[in-house]
Amino acid sequence: VKVKQVYRTGYHLQPKKNWINDPTGPMYYKGYYHIFYQYNPKGAIWGNIVWAHSVSKDMVNWIHLEPAIVPSKPYDKYGCWSGSATVLPGDKPVIFYTGIVDPKPSPGHQVQVYAIPANYSDPYLREWIKPDDNPFLKPTSENISAFRDPTTAWYNNGHWKMIIGSRHNHRGIAYLYRSRDFVTWVKAKHPFHSKRDTGMWECPDFYPVASKGTNGLDTSTLGKGVKYVLKNSIEVTRYEYYTIGRYDLIKDIYVPYNTTEDGWGGLRYDYGNFYASKSFYDPSTKRRILWGWANESSTQNEDIEKGWAGIQLIPRKVWLDPSGQMLLQWPISELETLRRKKVELNNVIVKKGNIVEVKGLIAVQADVDVTFTFSSLEKAELYDESWAEFPHHDLGKSICGVRGATVQGGLGPFGLMTLASHNLEEYTPVFFRVFKTINKKHKVLLCSDATPSSLNPKEYKPSFGGFVDVDLSEKKLSLRSLIDHSVVESFAEGGKTVITSRVYPTLAVIRNVHLHVFNNGYEPITIKKLNAWSMKTAKTTSIN
């Protein structure tokens, strides 16, 4: 079948065809960034899972290699599931992953496997070996079908340590394992962390962050001024939550600070389509970099027809906000090498009901960075206290669902209409709406709403929303959106709140795409500065 490939991205990582999910084992080795990901070599739906492998000098342009890890042993016969890489002293990478021994009990009987490079002098690390002492961990007291996704290991107090995601009844758990030699691993008496009623914890990620500056830290870093992040992907909600906390070295457990909720209702890297993320420390630039996966919002039949499903999102640098209360995320600066000519708007006033087109752009594949100002907070609409009755774990989403871009407000909704068709039959709005509570506090909401994105009635078109923890005293809000055919990744206020949407316009495709700024609030807003760039298509080559 020949399908028009209007939804393939121009600068996101995706293989030529077939299904992909979780990013796994990201690392930096001998001048190359490595990313692996869950891949079905046989089709566009999940199954037959292997580790696909791509390498890059800049995480923008990619070389696709043959899969690095495929089922070849009795212990991974039914799949090579997610895991992580640890680069041991002496520049020796080791991969940990979950092998599926048997499809039963559903979703599979899980064990932990390690793999090492066949040839350390190959910077591409094309060939991986599974030594004979595998699997190195079998579930004992753990739930055999909920024991997966080992993390990058860290070292302290004479031991290597790592966590594995699990659950016990409805309690989500990260089990801690220790090893002196990286070969024999023993389960700690106490879980590293757990939380009732959160269900299976997939793809846990644990790492230190510096309390000052934007540099990342190696996963084994300890000491003063170091805080920690624990992230879990919650199988039940399909969302991820993280907390910031401390590492209790005596008890060898993680303890979140009680500044935000631990579990549903807590902080998220992304309030949209983003799952099974994993970070790594890049020693060459001293950054911590986060990879996340976005699945399709189209139907399975459409995925099969187009022959592929899933993309890896743009890697994000992550660091601790100066407040110490949340993380900040920003697209890696290498992405800017794809920017073409710049289009600018300065000091343009947008009154209620007005739309300003950003012209001279290839709006289907663009990077937009805008700062809005306004002269008063007076008109902010009242925060409706009855919203407290919405399902608490996704309040922002619920509000964006009832107050879309066309629902008039006081201060906002204002923002971008991305992937817009000529007569606005289709567009994906990304916008702010400012509320005032009865206690005269302001709440800023960022929405990314797929509802008007496509005339195709079959697609899943969720409204996503997340609050932005910002001080409005400067009467200013900023937004950056990465637009790439079927994906819009939006970063509010320098990366305080991020939302990713997948959309499938029928008219707003290829050259028929526009970008606008809009305002549907009574308070006029000013486009203080808008910079937009058409983006080049990333270079990809395949060696296999």
What residues line the site for ligand DQQ (CB under 6 A)? 21-22, 38, 49, 81-82, 98, 148-149, 202-203, 233, 275-276
Say if residues 152 and 84 touch (Cβ distance below 8 Å): yes
Task: State both tokens at 499.
Answer: 């939302």
Task: State both tokens at 224.
Answer: 């003063």
**Closer Cβ to ligand DQQ, 69 or 417, answer by number:** 69
Least Cβ distance, residue 202 to ligand DQQ (angstroms) = 4
Least Cβ distance, residue 448 to ligand DQQ (angstroms) = 22
- Which has the closest alpha carbon to 164: 200, 214, 218? 200
First to last CA, the chain: 24
Least Cβ distance, residue 98 to ligand DQQ (angstroms) = 5
Residues 6+ apart with CB under 8 A from 118: 127, 128, 129
Least Cβ distance, residue 107 to ligand DQQ (angstroms) = 8
What's the rounded Cα separation, in Å, for the pair 429 and 451? Answer: 9
**Closer Cβ to ligand DQQ, 167 or 436, answer by number:** 167
What's the rounded Cα separation, in Å, for the pair 221 and 231? Answer: 18
Least Cβ distance, residue 26 to ligand DQQ (angstroms) = 15
- Which has the closest alpha carbon to 309: 300, 317, 318, 322? 300
Least Cβ distance, residue 38 to ligand DQQ (angstroms) = 4
Q: Which residue is nearest to ligand DQQ (CB)?
A: 81
- What are the Cα distances from residue 542, in Å, to 9, 30, 104, 146, 258? 17, 20, 36, 35, 47
Of these residues, 22, 76, 262, 270, which one is catalytic? 22
- Which has the closest alpha carbon to 75: 95, 102, 49? 102
Least Cβ distance, residue 15 to ligand DQQ (angstroms) = 15
**Closer Cβ to ligand DQQ, 20 or 444, answer by number:** 20
Query: 132 burial class (0-12, 13-18, 19+ CB within 10 angstroms)?
Result: exposed
**Closer Cβ to ligand DQQ, 202 or 459, answer by number:** 202
**Closer Cβ to ligand DQQ, 82 or 112, answer by number:** 82
Task: State both tokens at 418.
Answer: 């991305």
Measured in residues, the chain has a length of 544
Give the phi and the psi of residue 306 in degrees, each rounded to 5: -80, -15
Beta strand 311-312 with 339-350: parallel, antiparallel or unpaired?
Answer: unpaired
197 has catalytic annotation: no
**Closer Cβ to ligand DQQ, 110 or 365, answer by number:** 110
**Closer Cβ to ligand DQQ, 173 or 411, answer by number:** 173
DSSP string for 208-271: EEESSSS-B--TT--STTEEEEEEEEETTTTEEEEEEEEEETTTTEEEE-TTS-SSTTSB-S-S
Least Cβ distance, residue 136 to ligand DQQ (angstroms) = 17
- Which has the closest alpha carbon to 503: 533, 445, 458, 446? 458
**Closer Cβ to ligand DQQ, 200 or 434, answer by number:** 200
What's the rounded Cα separation, in Å, for the pair 64 and 452? Answer: 35
Task: State both tokens at 50.
Answer: 């292997």
Least Cβ distance, residue 241 to ligand DQQ (angstroms) = 14
**Closer Cβ to ligand DQQ, 69 or 370, answer by number:** 69
Give the phi and the psi of residue 394 in degrees, each rounded to 5: -145, 55
Angle at 194 between CA 192 and CA 200, to 5 degrees: 115
Task: State both tokens at 543.
Answer: 């060696």
What's the rounded Cα separation, in Å, for the pair 497 and 182? Answer: 38
Catalytic residue IDs: 22
